A and B are shown apart, each in its own frame.
Chain A
Amino acid sequence: MLKKRLVAVLILRQGQVVQSIRFKHTNVIHYDAVHAIEAFNKWAIDEIVMLNVTREESSREQFAEVVSSVSRHCFVPLTTGGWIGDEDYAKRLLRNGADKLVLNTAFSDNPDLVRTLSKRYGRQCIVASIDVKRTEEGDVRVAVDRGRKIIDADPVMWARKARDLGAGEIFFNSIDHDGARKGYDLETLAKICGAVDLPVIAFGGVFKWEHLAEGIGAGADAAAAANILHYTEQSTKKAKSFLANAGIPVRREGRHGA
């Protein structure tokens, strides 16, 4: 049976792992991302997502180097993104050991890039990051450019568009829920899961293990978290135990998983 995945997210700003609260990044969690990976490797994380949220595009080189050093220690799928604006940089991240590419702004500003990368590396390699924000009128709309630009797009429509452009998976986050400790935006998450036939990774807002289970319950194939996994001792082990006790099929450590 296919297991539900527990995904650790590393938010990187200028090469350091930082805490994210409503897309603002202040506290540094790890100065060296490799330390975070080494801990997760011991604790049966199912996948690592690394996002470069630095405001400056010039951070691309440094991020690619961090991907390279992290990949040497990462023996689960490694998904990377942030500032993927051209084919060469996408290739560089993959050559440096990334398994999948996360794209966000390209789905609005450069759809041809998404199509090209999907055709070249396969749909399974392309993850559509969809960030949403609730407007003052109460509508949920898609945000691009590291959450700075709200576009007039409905998340469900956007998810379908992402699939049509060649995405093989969706990484969902809500700016209102990010770091807000109240769990995922379950309403929007469930709508997206019901609308597209792609695996969906839920992210943004996990503060209790129950929140992970809620995301799976809303239809997600994978439950992702950042801060809580970094700050809790043996976090992934505890999270997995909780999910298993809640009747959710998860990968448990084998004899050699430890």
Chain B
Amino acid sequence: MTNPSVAIIDYGMGNIRSVLNAFEEVGAAGVLVDNPENLGSFEKAILPGVGAFKEAMENLDESGMTAALNTYVSKGNQLLGVCLGMQLICLDSEEDGFHEGLGYLNAHVVPLPREAGLKVPHMGWNAIEFRCEHAVFSDVESGSDVYFVHSYRVKCEDESDVLATSNYGVPFDSIVASGNVLGMQFHPEKSQGVGLQLLRNFISLK
């Protein structure tokens, strides 16, 4: 397989350019997809995102991308949600009220704990501890640091969906997978060598 293409879903949220740059660096062609009709021609897609859950879901719903994603995922294609994108694949979020998500992952989005000495957002480099073996971990060591920026965390209902956890006051799920849908709470596109390797592995997933 040479130069596999990956759909980068562009729905008006977040730093699309960084994701494009990272895929270019690992030798994959990232293609911005803002028209839901175009998603059908891909087998791999990434749902990036920085910002508010509610606004993101509204953008996805109004553009018709939610429906296109539902079809895309039901056909068994691979989807990687990054940061807010990982939260959007969950059932629901408590951010700014209560909002339903895409529901591909049996998980809820809840606030990070507000404890003395812990600044929120959780911003900076923190370790991912592997909870199982997975092809996405190829050539990556458990305990590697990656770059996080988030104020809410994903809480999986099924422990078998948790691939890696991290710790910030509490342990939280930092890499998740349910069938053909994956999520990373951190920014692989901004996590230097480790992050690029994770993206490389996502591209190579069978």
Contacts and interface: CB of A to CB of B under 8 A. Distances in A.
A71 interface: yes
Interface string A1-36: 111010000000000000000000000000000000
Interface stretch (B102-110, B115-123, B153-161, B177-185): B115-123
Contact of A75 (B52, B122, B196): B196
A258 interface: yes
13 contacts: A1-B126, A46-B125, A75-B192, A75-B195, A76-B191, A76-B192, A96-B17, A122-B52, A199-B123, A254-B144, A255-B141, A256-B196, A257-B192
A167 interface: no
B125 A251 contact: yes
B141 A251 contact: no
Interface residues of B, number: 37
Contacts of A178: none
B61 interface: no
A169 B189 CA distance: 21
Nearest to A4: B124
Contacts of A2: 122, 124-126, 168
Pick the 9 closest A-B CB pairs, nearest first. A256-B193, A251-B145, A257-B193, A97-B17, A3-B125, A251-B125, A254-B144, A256-B197, A124-B149
Interface in B1-38: 15, 17-18, 21-22, 24-25
A44 interface: yes
Nearest to B144: A254
Contacts of B22: 75
A125 B190 CA distance: 14
B202 to A, nearest CB: 15
B136 interface: no
B167 A1 contact: yes
Given A199-B123, A255-B139, A256-B193, A95 B17 contact: yes
Interface in A209-225: 221-222
Contacts of B40: none
A71 B157 CA distance: 38
Nearest to B200: A256
Q: Is the interface of B mostly helix, strand, loop or mixed?
A: mixed
Q: Is the interface of A mostly helix, strand, loop or mixed?
A: loop
Contact of B15 (A76, A99, A198, A255): A99
Interface string A77-93: 11000000000000000
A48 B158 CA distance: 38
Interface of B: 15, 17-18, 21-22, 24-25, 50-52, 119, 121-127, 139-141, 144-145, 147, 149, 167-168, 187, 189-197
Contacts of A95: 17
Contacts of B147: 76-77
Nearest to B15: A99
B123 to A, nearest CB: 6
A121 B50 contact: yes
A238 B78 CA distance: 41
Given A96-B17, A251-B145, A199 B124 contact: yes
Contacts of A96: 17
A75 B123 contact: no
A18 B18 CA distance: 26
Nearest to A119: B52
Given A1-B167, A3-B145, A198 B119 contact: yes
B124 A221 contact: yes
Given A75-B192, A254-B194, 7 more contacts: A2-B126, A124-B50, A199-B119, A221-B124, A251-B125, A254-B193, A256-B196
A243 interface: no
Contact of B21 (A97, A122, A221, A255): A97
A141 B61 CA distance: 49
A5 B124 contact: yes
A197 interface: yes
B192 A168 contact: no
Given A75-B196, A77-B147, A121-B51, A3 B126 contact: yes
A75 B149 contact: no
A3 B109 CA distance: 24
A115 interface: no
